[in-house]
């Protein structure tokens, strides 16, 4: 009996880091990329909580290198100088205020933790950092942490350049420098403890979990070692003994020796194959058809659903790098993108993360966007512009705010309504017209073919009149968009023309008249 109890206790401990710790029936995360803490706090209160968003992934909050030539790139935030909470998004007091205000309305905060490395070897020396802390990258001297030459992997990397030269060598990938970034010696207890101390300060403030940046470039056991030092979540908002949610950035598209599965013991992993494959299918490239999505998920070689965090695009691959590939759909391809995000949010696989971006001036040379470095909308002094909200609820100041697009917001609500319901009532025409339900709570249908659709299909829903939540929604017991009539036997007629603004329809029981 004692052994059984120990096994059950271990299983309970194990399970913690896979759970996003969201309020019940709030299932999706949004990445408010490069937003200021003040704007996130307001967005939690005025929009995210009322529309059922579960949590926010925020940009790295720690002190980073300031790069001013020609302008400040977004990636400077991935060049740590210290673990002080002060960045373009705001200072420590503003960060604490955001975490409190978001938690108070049931929206969780997940921090992008950059702990594999410090700034690049060419970062120079001085005080050009977001808090003004002194550092000397050449000497591996970061007194604001403090880290010194003892705390880096320089002696452990066996390439001539000190850089990763082959992704087929797991030792290089994990012990050498990624893009010249100074690689921390995570096998040293001092480094592990220092990282855990930083993460624990954030947990104590009320943070609910972490995205572990560049996890593929760390040994799984080293990550485990600092995760084992983490506190339980703050009992002001979470029940006693709750573990932080962990999802690790492991780019595994197949074809390399490092696998996402090596990291399952630590938490979930980012399933990069998801967006790459879904983009290929929805673009109808390589002979792919939506009909092939019937066994979407593990049937496509993805990691198990209970170990996956999924997304159509992220801040890296929407710019064509970090497991980019031309198939990735983004806000620049709005019509196809909304279909892909709609499919993701309707389908039960994984924990879903929605992207919220900013625009940049795209300019292509030899097929590459040479402006992929451009940072967030900024004032002349380099400070980040606030996110302004237009009268039609879209965003201004060059913030895209895909999470505020009606189709995406309403599908976030759809996912909450159907949470826990099985994948059901699949239908396809053998081509690019497909449909599926989620038990007796919701149903979605797509026409990605080049001809009009007019079909009767089984929805599995109770009889009645439903509002399509893509073309509109239910307001004051009427539909602002299309209506769908479900008969007593669960059948319904769907007509979607190829010129429809959005070639898909979604209905659920909370949108029934």
Among residues 76, 213, 252, 468, the one annotated as catalytic is 213
**Is there a contact between 513 and 461 (Cβ–Cβ < 8 Å)?**
no
Place of tokens 């979540």: 233
Q: In whole angstroms, how far apart are CA 217 and each of 161, 221, 325?
A: 17, 12, 21
The region that residue 498 occupies, defined by phi over 0 for left and psi between -120 and 50 for alpha, beta otherwise, is alpha
Considering only CA atoms, which of 285, 269, 359, 366 is closest in space to residue 318? 359
pLDDT of residue 6: 43
pLDDT of residue 15: 57
pLDDT of residue 482: 97
**Is there a contact between 266 and 227 (Cβ–Cβ < 8 Å)?**
yes
pLDDT of residue 370: 87
pLDDT of residue 10: 42
**Is there a contact between 304 and 352 (Cβ–Cβ < 8 Å)?**
no
165 included as an active-site residue: no
pLDDT of residue 325: 82
Among residues 39, 175, 249, 428, the one annotated as catalytic is 249
419 included as an active-site residue: no
> Model's pTM, two decimal places?
0.95
Residue segments in the chain with a per-residue pLDDT below the cut of 70 = 1-15, 324
């Amino acid at each position: 009996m004692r052994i059984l109890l120990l096994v059950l206790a271990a299983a309970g401990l194990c399970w913690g880091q896979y759970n996003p710790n969201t309020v019940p029936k709030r299932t999706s995360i949004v990445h408010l990329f490069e937003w200021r803490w003040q704007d996130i706090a307001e967005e939690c209160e005025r929009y995210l909580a009322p529309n059922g968003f579960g949590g926010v992934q925020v940009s790295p909050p720690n002190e980073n290198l300031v790069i001013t030539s020609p302008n400040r790139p977004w990636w400077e935030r991935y060049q740590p100088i210290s673990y002080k909470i002060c960045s373009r998004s705001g200072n420590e007091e503003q960060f604490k205020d955001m975490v409190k205000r978001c938690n108070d309305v049931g929206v969780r905060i997940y921090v992008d933790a950059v702990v594999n490395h410090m700034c690049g070897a060419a970062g120079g020396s001085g005080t050009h950092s977001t808090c003004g802390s002194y550092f000397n990258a050449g000497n591996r001297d970061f007194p604001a942490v403090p880290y010194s030459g003892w705390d880096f992997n320089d002696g452990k990397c066996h390439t001539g350049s000190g850089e990763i030269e082959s992704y087929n060598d797991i030792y290089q990938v994990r012990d050498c420098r990624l893009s010249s970034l100074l690689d921390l010696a995570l096998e040293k207890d001092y480094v592990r403890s220092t990282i855990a101390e930083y993460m624990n300060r954030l947990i104590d403030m009320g943070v609910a979990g972490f995205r572990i940046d560049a996890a593929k470039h760390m040994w799984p056991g080293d990550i485990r070692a600092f995760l084992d030092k983490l506190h339980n979540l703050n009992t002001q908002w979470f029940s006693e003994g709750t573990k932080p949610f962990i999802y690790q950035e492991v780019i595994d598209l197949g074809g390399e020796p490092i696998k996402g599965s090596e990291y399952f013991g630590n938490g979930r992993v980012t399933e990069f194959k998801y967006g790459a494959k879904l983009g290929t299918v929805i673009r109808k490239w390589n002979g792919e058809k939506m009909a092939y999505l019937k066994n979407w998920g593990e049937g496509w070689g993805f990691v198990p659903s209970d170990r996956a965090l999924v997304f159509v695009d992220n801040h890296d691959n929407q710019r064509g790098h970090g497991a980019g590939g031309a198939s990735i759909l983004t806000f620049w391809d709005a019509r196809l993108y909304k279909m892909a995000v709609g499919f993701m949010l309707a389908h039960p696989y994984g924990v879903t993360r929605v992207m919220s971006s900013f625009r940049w001036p795209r300019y292509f040379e030899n097929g590459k966007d040479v402006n992929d470095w451009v940072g967030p909308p900024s004032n002349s002094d380099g400070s980040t512009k606030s996110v302004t909200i237009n009268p039609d609820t879209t965003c201004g100041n060059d913030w895209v705010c895909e999470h505020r697009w009606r189709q995406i917001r309403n599908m976030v609500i759809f996912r909450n309504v159907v949470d826990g319901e099985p994948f059901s009532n699949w239908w396809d025409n053998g081509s690019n017209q497909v449909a599926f339900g989620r038990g007796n709570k919701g149903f979605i249908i797509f026409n990605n073919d080049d001809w009009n659709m007019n079909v009767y299909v089984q929805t599995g829903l109770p009889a009645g009149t439903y509002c399509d939540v893509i073309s509109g929604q239910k307001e004051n017991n009427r539909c602002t968009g299309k209506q769908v009539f479900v008969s007593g036997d669960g059948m319904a007629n769907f007509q979607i023309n190829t010129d429809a603004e959005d070639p898909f329809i979604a209905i659920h029981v909370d949108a029934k008249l």
